[in-house]
Amino acid sequence: METTEQTQSSNTRQVGIVYDAPSILEEISKLGLYTKNPKELAKITLAKMKDLEGVGYNFEEALASVHLLILQMMGSNIVPFTITGWQTSSLRSIDETAKVKATLEGTVGHGSVSRSFSVSSEGVGPIHAIDLSLRKALSKVFPETKDIKLVSYSLNIVDSSNGSAAAAIARTEFVDDHANRNVNPTTWATVAVSDDVIDASVRALIDGYRYKLIFLNKKERFAIPDWRVAIA
């Protein structure tokens, strides 16, 4: 993430997609996911998306969130890490840049390798500091997360009629910094909604890292219900 908490542009920004049952089926196929009834999976995923859109979610430029939702609707609960709490604080003095600190608590890993953590980082704004803390916590168990870069972050009010009490929609977009040396690097975007702007942002960040570990991890740390199940 660059040195601002404001909305940023990205040359690799995803093109908006309006989803329907056939397009969800296509995503299931692209992911290589196996289910006995893909049409039914597409149907219930689309219904869940409609419910979430009713409270402010916008999936048109957040394909990674769609993929995670498909996995959820399959009943596959993959949780590489859990954030149990966070805290941010800022200190500003005259003629000096604000110092923002974020502290995250949670667990990372699964099974016998699961461990608790409490980490802190300073950043340019709360979201930048939280992102740095999350990466610091995860990299000890998942070193591949060190190369993840937050390239775009935006926050919008869902219902402006409620003023400061309105829900907010956070969108985050990532790229693997190691893969960024390629001509066409892989990017992925997530979205989350909450009546707390920090909560919405943290949820979008969490899903961004989850997506990397589940779908874009060459080490295949987590087993997903893919086509290999059908021929096993």
Closest CA to 200 of 148, 154, 162, 163: 154
If you average pLDDT over residues 142-147, what whole number do you get? 90
Instruction: Give the pLDDT of residue 225.
Output: 75
Residue 9 has pLDDT above 50, yes or no: no
If you average pLDDT over residues 42-52, what whole number do you get? 96
Burial class of 212 by CB neighbour count within 10 A (0 to 12, 13 to 18, 19+): buried
Rounded percentage of the chain residues whose pLDDT exceeds 70: 81
If you average pLDDT over residues 200-215, what whole number do you get? 95
Instruction: Give the pLDDT of residue 133.
Output: 96
Query: 81-91 and 99-108: which strand pairing?
Result: antiparallel
CA distances to 2, 8, 27, 151, 191 from 12, in Å: 15, 12, 19, 9, 16
Residue 70 has pLDDT above 90, yes or no: yes
Sheet holding 81-91, edge to edge: 81-91, 99-108, 115-123
Instruction: Give the pLDDT of residue 181.
Output: 56
Q: Which one has a higher pLDDT value, 64 or 167?
A: 64
Residue 150 has pLDDT above 60, yes or no: yes
Instruction: Give the pLDDT of residue 5.
Output: 40
Instruction: Give the pLDDT of residue 217.
Output: 82
> Which tens digits make up the pLDDT trace of 87-111?
999 877 766 777 899 999 999 987 6
Query: From the DSSP assignment, how many helices (H) and strands (E) are in the chain?
Result: 6, 6
Residue 140 has pLDDT above 90, yes or no: no
Query: Predicted confidence band at 175 (pLDDT cuts at 50, 70, 90)?
Result: very high
**Superfamily for domain range 81-211:** Alpha-isopropylmalate synthase LeuA, regulatory domain (3.30.160.270)
Query: Predicted confidence band at 16 (pLDDT cuts at 50, 70, 90)?
Result: low
User: How do the domains of the chain map onto residue ranges?
Assistant: 21-75+221-231, 81-211
Query: Predicted confidence band at 1 (pLDDT cuts at 50, 70, 90)?
Result: very low
C-alpha to C-alpha distance for 65 and 209, rounded to whole angstroms: 11
Query: Predicted confidence band at 232 (pLDDT cuts at 50, 70, 90)?
Result: very low
